[in-house]
Amino acid sequence: MPPLGPGGPCAERRQSLRPLLSLGRATPRAGVHRRGLHPRRTPGGAPRRAGGPWPARARRLSHPHGPPGLRGGPSVTVPAEVHQAEERLQSILKAVVVGARVDEPASRPGGEDALAFSEAGALQPPYEPEALCLLVEHSNSLRQNVDAYATNIDGFGYRFEPAIDFDADGAREKVADAMALERAAAHDAGTLPAGTPLRPTAEEVAAHAEEVRQQARVEKARLESFFDFCCFDGSFVELRRRTRHDVEVTGNAYWEVLRDGKGDIARFVYVPSYTVRLLPLDKEAVEVRERVRISAVSFDTVSTRRRLRRYLQVQGSERVYFKSFGD
């Protein structure tokens, strides 16, 4: 193959196509040559020969067979220019951030709670509680139904029903039946005094009924006083409404029961259900004491063995373990 001329393969191709192109003017009055149909002319007016030198005023353009060039400027290498631009950008960024003090982020990436639950061995719920909460928030109908449940079931307050209503008919008979059941249980346990009949007399029923009436009145007053102030940040009705929301949305609801120095129940604290997971049942069963009802107004305790379950709450970096009420 003969060597290419100084103009490159593009110039050779232009020279080879010239005999095939018409060199005449389009119209007699046309005073300008068609672009690409006539050879370029030198400053003196003569056509430039194939392979001849470029004129001084010619535009320097990049083409695929020669070194890239910029219009009106010297030839440059594109990767080199990009590298220099990146270096200038890095120097500008360094001038901004070097020496600046950045605080630790307060936010946490998603998925840390799920990882903490899995590391603690918590049971995986069948449905993600957070996803269930978002589903209700973005639904047009679910939220209205849940609000209606909370209002109609738990929003109308509460009242205390006595085990034996002494203002109703048949109160004396209920007291007599309760006394008979208590004596039968004591007889089975071997604690009934000798000579005590299983069925109480009318005088015993009347005296015991008056005693139970006084106890019921005091107990009701204590309950009303307690439930008026059993929550820190709201009423007991509001606590029940929030509990109803959790039950209908996630299927679970939790209260934390606080006790005073004597061990008596003092406060109820609402616990968001989506922050709590169940732990597996303990492998070993333990002996616990449970209350069983003997009559309408009395209870007894029995021993039983059962496997206990704990609960785990994760909020941020803190883990809190709970047990079931009464364990």
Per-residue pLDDT of 258-278, as tens digits, reads 999 998 999 999 999 999 999
Are 238 and 191 a contacting pair, CB within 8 Å?
A: no
Of 44-48, 171-175, 231-235, 253-257, the range with the lowest mean pLDDT is 44-48
The reply to whether 227 falls in a domain is: yes
Q: What is the pLDDT of residue 105?
A: 46
For residue 131, which of 149, 115, 110, 150 has the smallest C-alpha distance? Answer: 110
The span from the CA of 58 to the CA of 70, in Å, is 12
Mean pLDDT of the chain: 77
Tell me: the pLDDT tens digits for 98-121? 444 544 544 444 456 778 888 888
Position 80 scores a pLDDT of 73
Residue 191 lies in a domain: yes
As for how many domains the chain has, the answer is 1
Q: Is the pLDDT of residue 229 over 50?
A: yes
Residue span of the structural domain in which 211 resides: 128-273
Residue 170 covered by a domain = yes
Tokens found for residue 202: 């009318």
The pLDDT score that the predictor gives to residue 45 is 52
In residues, how long is the chain? 327
Give 56-104 pLDDT, tens digit per residue.
Answer: 444 444 444 555 544 555 555 567 776 777 777 655 544 444 444 544 5
Q: Judge whether 48 lies within some domain.
A: no
Statement: residue 41 has pLDDT above 50? yes
For the chain, percent of residues with pLDDT exceeding 90: 48
Report if residue 100 sits inside a domain: no
Q: Is residue 34 part of a domain?
A: no
Which is it for the CA torsion 229, 230, 233, 236, positive or negative? negative
Note whether residue 50 is domain-resident: no
Q: Is residue 302 part of a domain?
A: no
